[in-house]
Amino acid sequence: MSELSRSAPERAASPAAEAWRMFRRNRPAMLGTAIFLSMLGVVIYGSLFGGDPFEIVWAPQTPPGEDGFVFGTDYLGRSLATGLLVGGAPTMAVGAAAAVLSIFIGVTIGALAGYYGGWVDNLLMRITEFFQVLPALLFAMVLVTLFSPSLVTISTAIGVVMWPQTARLTRAEFLKIRELEYVTAARAIGAGNGRIMWRVILPNALPPLIVSATLTVGVAILFEAGLSFLGLGDPNTMSWGMMIGANREYILDAWWPVTFPGLAIFLTVFSVSLIGDGLNDAFNPKLRER
């Protein structure tokens, strides 16, 4: 009778609420969130009120702190402060868009492959491997040069080269979860394939996917910076990567035009990684009760 006499619990916390509770207690993760949110705030402010980053405002290569320029000027005399403010938006937007695209493709392909197995799995995994063995940056470069660089084409190119990892992870989760008894139980109440894939298996596969998605954002930001550095960014849009690329030849004369954008990229990606690690811990039930 013990099960009958036990007092009823409070309305239970959802898994998401539970994960958030864990996440909040994780200091590095909260630090990462703080850094990321401040970077995001700066970038949003900058893209609204930052001014024209291409405008030549002062003598070239003015060191930081001189003549009222906190970050100095670059080799053409453009304000680095303005560049930093405005240049974050394309980097972050492309990073986010590319991550969303790669997750969408990766989850769809991985889910179909893992759920149906057999020849569907074989076919989809061979396609995935095809994309996986291409050198990612090179492939993205080719895509960007084929279609003139713009925010859309760059996001697409990065998204297209990054999805195989997500697909493999999703497939692995689906392979594991589809064998579990609650999937059979869902079938036994008459649920169809679509419902079982997206409403039964996917919610249970989400924790590792969310972690991976977060880290994907970081990688996508690095990709965008890399492409811009190589001069394959949108030439009409100032971005952190482009600032480093444009100033790299003068690094021995002036360290600041490459260092500050580099730091901005580093801080953003670092904060995203901290968040990803924090989420990983938050979703790990083995760490819950500590």
Partner 1 sequence: MSPLLDVRDLRVEFATRHGTVTALDGVSLRLEPGETLGVVGESGCGKSITALAIMGLIPMPPGRIAGGSIRLDGEELIGAPERRLRQLRGRDIGMIFQEPMTSLNPVFRVGDQIAEAILLHQDVSRDEARRRALDLLRTVGVPDPGQRIDAYPHELSGGLRQRVMIAIAISCQPRLLIADEPTTALDVTVQAQIFDLIRDIQDRLGVAVILITHDMGAIAEMADRVAVMYAGRVVEEGPADAILDSPAHPYTRGLIGCIPAIDPALAALDRLPPLAEIPGVVPPLHLLGQGCAFADRCIEAVDICRKVAPPLTGRGHAVACHLHAAAAASEES
- Shortest gap between Cβ of 271 and partner 1 (angstroms)? 28
Binding to partner 1 (CB under 8 A): which residues in 108-127? 118
Within residues 178-237, the interface with partner 1 by CB under 8 A covers: 180-182, 184-192, 200, 203-204
Residue 9 CB, shortest distance to partner 1, in Å, is 6
Rounded to 5°, the CA angle 173-178-184 comes to: 155
Per CB under 8 A, 289 contacts partner 1: no
For partner 1, the closer CB: 84 or 210: 210
x/- contact string, 32-51, with partner 1 (CB under 8 A)? --------------------
What six digits make up the tokens of 90? 């394309």
H-type helices in the chain, by residue range?
A: 2-5, 15-24, 27-49, 80-116, 118-133, 136-146, 151-177, 181-188, 193-195, 202-229, 240-247, 256-282, 285-288
> Toward partner 1, which CB reaches closer, 64 or 208?
208
Among 12, 49, 68, 236, binds partner 1 (CB under 8 A): 12
Q: 78 has which bridge partners?
A: 56
Q: Which is nearer to partner 1, 169 or 246 (CB)?
A: 169
Radius of gyration of the chain (CA): 23
Stretch that binds partner 1, among 1-9, 119-127, 128-136, 211-219 (CB under 8 A): 1-9
Go through 221-240 and write b for each residue having 16 or more CB atoms within 10 A of its CB, e for each that does not: bbbbbbbbbeebbbeebbbb
11 binds partner 1 (CB under 8 A): yes
Instruction: Write the burial class of residue 188 (CB in 10 Å: 0-12 exposed, 13-18 middle, 19+ buried).
Output: exposed
Distances (CA, A) of 105 to 6, 56, 85, 87: 47, 42, 32, 28
CB of 180 to partner 1, least distance (A): 6
User: Which residue from 1, 148, 194, 236 is in contact with partner 1, where contact means CB under 8 A?
Assistant: 1
Q: Return the residue of 4, 126, 236, 289 that touches partner 1, per CB under 8 A.
A: 4
Q: Which residues would be at the binding site for partner 1 (CB under 8 A)? A: 1-4, 6-9, 11-12, 14-15, 118, 180-182, 184-192, 200, 203-204
